[in-house]
Chain A
């Protein structure tokens, strides 16, 4: 699964993303290295996670209650937002709200992340993309620049067109 960070294909991903099912089965946390876990699991096991002394991340989706996360994400280096289906667009607004709340580290899109939505995701605040398509190639990166203008502003430059 190709990973893009800041519009570059990255081969080394230090993060281990652990899903709820594996954690429920009692899989031990990896001894070291950055891990990201579902938000609910993070809330229940915060102390154990922090004892590991490695970078921490959480995985969220539109069903999570995110108010507390927006209020405090100082311990987190990565927030991964899931797109559970192609038509579920909640992740766009979650990314927007995360950036607005001051989170400035990695926001990674997971799930239905496809070439034709990369630019929309980036404009909404994502800076990393786990692309759900093995055929993804370097030339697909042009998706980011297919539309070179916008009216609304982006999280990188929030000024709408009339303020530029």
Chain B
């Protein structure tokens, strides 16, 4: 993974001291609330319902075990012993003290981490495919380009006061696991007719109040132009994006208002001034970025007969391990290796939450079995990407001992859930109680396995942090006269076939959410042909049969 040089380290160290001084001036009354608010947000610090919340950047989801142990230490020392992984693959701490935040940042800087631009109206953490570098059907590993974008976007002087937040995702595989079509900019690695690899550029995707799928404005952008083209898009947005209404300030609104063709024309006009200029990536810089993401030193004997026999034996004798293997591990490019997903969706715990001791356990496993690295995923899980098949049983046992091995990846209970009203000051409704309710209602794993792949995402307000619009089953918490109600939509996707879910009908009370999901799933089971997935059935039959069942008058 990327290792800081002197410049990177100087930047984060000096940023810590700068923020320490800003915090000191705020606490002394020398810095106005409004101005400090913008400054602290650009450094990941929110003031939430219970306490400040600090969001720490995990660039493109990649964590070394040293970094993971530092996060455990922060959770233990400055918080209440846990953190929460987000859909942008960052981690949030819910209970730090404002005055201690500079010290937390100083601790993070020791392990090449920071909270720069994890919130505020600036360019946020660039995200990517959690299986980058090990995924099948990958044109190229997108992470070197994520790192190039990370550097370019970090403390960019011109783009620190954008109309609104700005999110970029890069994906390199046929399957889009980075939700690139619902980002302000989605970069999809692409190949032109000459076999050259570059990017297709999408802009103006996003969720929130106005969910929109991104529009392609350039089918092929050569790699060397990556930064100058991004620079041109950001400058057009910074100058033309609306600033009169924060709900209409995202780039998607600008692209919709101008139309993608006019937006493209403006970008190309701006780009004409800067293409082939200083921002043009050099071959040396691309090679340097790539040098940090080389293949690990894979064990040539990983696929030995012994390893295989040992795995087969464990699979045959331990049904729990067998279920975990089937649901929480994936094929790897290298023979004898598997990708192992660490479920942060245990029974009746907040999705995405992880305790300090769990973080330490994952760090130990990464060191011992997966080249010292862990990935955080958009789905709020963790991944050990390079585990030898012969080690899987030991990994599973250790995960199980730490309540990290629930075999529910890809199933209904592998939900994306925002923290909701319990923590977030923007939320309208609670979410964690509903995720518990769904877990209690659907606690039969065989039933979940029979239902197959289902993505359920639940947001506690219209800001859609949990991406409910692009889930098979999306749940949105709404406030009706002081009571929590839940609006359900069906048929969304954030993958390569990205589409927005359709609202089923009037919202249901908190007590009925799991029951409603049960009715929806019953329709699926009735309608499915052979091994059709939930998503395929919704596409084929539409939402009408679901609507009829859910809102049928009781007899």
Contact = CB atoms under 8 A, between A and B. Distances in A.
B18 A88 contact: no
A2 to B, nearest CB: 16
A60 to B, nearest CB: 12
A124 interface: yes
A147 B159 CA distance: 16
Contacts of A150: 11, 155, 157
Interface residues of B, number: 43
A149 interface: yes
B451 interface: no
A149 B152 CA distance: 12
Nearest to B5: A161
Contact of A151 (B155, B238, B281): B155
The range of chain A's interface size is: 35 or more
Interface string B149-160: 001101111111
B10 A114 contact: no
B11 A89 contact: no
A151 B154 contact: yes
B235 interface: yes
Nearest to B162: A89
Interface in B156-210: 156-163
Contact of A149 (B10, B273, B281): B10
Nearest to A114: B35
Interface stretch (B282-290, B432-440, B465-473, B546-554): B282-290
B238 A90 contact: yes
Contacts of B273: 100
Contacts of A146: 14, 17-18, 21
Contacts of A96: 158, 235
Interface in A88-124: 88-90, 92-94, 96-97, 100, 114, 116-117, 119-124
A33 interface: no
Interface stretch (A4-12, A13-21, A24-32, A152-160): A152-160
B278 A159 contact: yes
Given A147-B14, A160-B152, A93 B160 contact: no
A149 B288 CA distance: 19
A74 interface: no
A85 to B, nearest CB: 8
A138 interface: no
B282 A163 contact: yes
A90 B238 CA distance: 6
B526 interface: no
Given A88-B243, A89-B162, A148-B10, A162 B157 contact: no
Contacts of A116: 22, 31, 35, 39
B121 interface: yes
A146 B235 CA distance: 25
A120 to B, nearest CB: 4
A55 interface: no
Top-4 shortest CB links A-B: A89-B161, A123-B157, A162-B285, A120-B157
Interface of B: 7, 10-11, 14-15, 17-18, 21-22, 30-31, 34-35, 38-39, 121, 151-152, 154-163, 227, 235, 238-239, 243, 273-274, 277-279, 281-282, 284-285, 288
Interface of A: 62, 86-90, 92-94, 96-97, 100, 114, 116-117, 119-124, 135, 146-154, 158-163
9 contacts: A87-B38, A89-B160, A124-B158, A146-B14, A148-B10, A149-B11, A151-B151, A151-B154, A152-B158
